[in-house]
Amino acid sequence: MSEMAMYTKDLSVYYGEKQAIKKVSMDFAAREVIALIGPSGCGKSTFLRSLNRMNDVIAGARVEGEIWINGRNINAPDTDVVRLRQNIGMVWQKPNPFHKSIYENIAFGPRYHGIRDKRKLDEIVESCLRKTALWDEVKDRLKGSALALSGGQQQRLCIARSLTVQPSILLMDEPASALDPVSTAKIEELIAELKKEYCIVIVTHNMYQAARVSDKTGFFLMGDLVEYDDTQKIFTNPSQRSTDDYISGRFG
Ligand SMILES: Nc1ncnc2c1ncn2[C@@H]1O[C@H](COP(=O)(O)OP(=O)(O)OP(=O)(O)O)[C@@H](O)[C@H]1O
């Protein structure tokens, strides 16, 4: 059996009276890519955000149920959310590098967590940029502004930034939807490479992308997890009629 990175048990999320996620139980294996798909408004981003407690900062949002990582329910009130977010990195739809140099974007997190030694920081910067295949493209301009990079490079920089604090899980909310096809292909190659080390949960509207990059796929509809299975099964022989309708483009 594959090693488990995380699982949810009866996870529900409410915005005020409205229930956006309905008792979702889902497991995520280490070193696998899990795609979350479904029509707009079905709750994919809400579910993803709850996995590293980002919904805590949304006014009116309330989370019920359990999320287990390393033998702890991270929804418990005594969870150290800063440490939790070290373990679970997040990459957003729109690249959001800091208005700082390429080097500082990567060094920021480790420095925040107490690493001061310049040689150690240099090592982290190089290794994270290598992991995201950016090193050769930027090694001669580490002091240059991150904002001068292309959109695709900025997104890979943001992925590199999320790796600096040694997470085991990466959450990605439509990481390539703002990028051109070549940059998208690079992000997909990167995901295939990163899954050797990390569990990656990705929300995508692009079903071809889900089919290309993921091992397992979860189909959400109106806050319910309708079906969760091997990606190949979901895209060739789903068990539920609504999954079939969605992947065949009959709605959504
Ligand atoms: N901050 C919020 N306050 C109130 N309701 C919200 C909030 N964020 C999302 N919702 C509602 O929760 C439901 C799920 O939204 P969510 O953004 O998670 O869906 P999604 O599947 O990710 O959609 P999309 O694919 O369009 O990004 C929707 O009905 C949405 O209107």
What six digits make up the tokens of 143?
Answer: 């002091």
Q: Which of 21, 24, 45 to mutate to test the pocket of ligand 1 (most atoms within 8 A of CB)?
A: 45
Which among 25, 35, 22, 30 has a CA at the least distance from the CA of 4? 30
Q: Which of 42, 50, 202, 203 is the best mutation target for the ligand 1 pocket, counting ligand atoms within 8 Å of the beta carbon and taking the most?
A: 42
pLDDT computed for residue 85 by the predictor: 85
Predicted local distance difference test score (pLDDT) of residue 140: 97
The structure tokens listed for 83 are 């440490």
pLDDT-derived band at 164 (thresholds 50, 70, 90) equals very high
Residue 163, pLDDT > 90, answer yes
pLDDT of residue 250 exceeding 90, the answer is: no
Residues 113-134 have pLDDT tens digits of 899 999 999 999 999 999 999 9
Residue 9's φ and ψ, nearest 5 degrees, are -135, 115
Weakest-pLDDT range from 22-36, 174-188, 230-244: 174-188
Who wins on pLDDT, 243 or 86?
243
Share of the chain above pLDDT 90, in %: 90
List pLDDT tens digits, range 168-185. Answer: 999 999 999 989 999 999
CA 31–ligand 1 middle distance (angstroms): 28
Average predicted confidence (pLDDT) for the chain: 95
Pocket, ligand 1, Cβ cutoff 6 A: 15, 20, 38, 40-46, 58
Q: Long-range contacts of range 128-132, CB-CB < 8 Å, 24 or more positions apart?
A: 128/160, 128/161, 128/163, 128/164, 129/102, 129/157, 129/160, 131/160, 131/163, 131/193, 131/194, 132/156, 132/157, 132/159, 132/160, 132/163, 132/190
Instruction: Output DSSP code: residue 93.
Output: S
Domain ranges (residues) in the chain: 4-94+169-247
What pLDDT digit, counting tens, does each position of 215-239 carry? 999 999 999 999 999 999 999 999 9
Query: Given a cut of 90, is residue 86 above it in pLDDT?
Result: no
For residue 96, how far is its CA from the centre of ligand 1 (angstroms)? 21
β-pairing verdict for 61-69 and 72-73: antiparallel
- pTM equals 0.94
pLDDT for 249 equals 87
Res 36: pLDDT = 98
pLDDT band at 82 (very low <50, low <70, confident <90, very high): confident
Question: How much distance in Å is there from the Cα of 45 to the middle of ligand 1?
Answer: 7
Whole-number pLDDT of residue 252: 63
Over residues 19-46, mean pLDDT: 97
Contacts of 45 (CB under 8 A, 6+ apart): 173, 203
Within a 13 Å sphere around the CA of 113, how many CA atoms are in the beta-carbon half?
A: 15
Which letter does DSSP use for residue 145 in this model?
B
ipTM score of the complex?
0.97
**Fold for the domain defined by 4-94+169-247:** Rossmann fold (3.40.50)
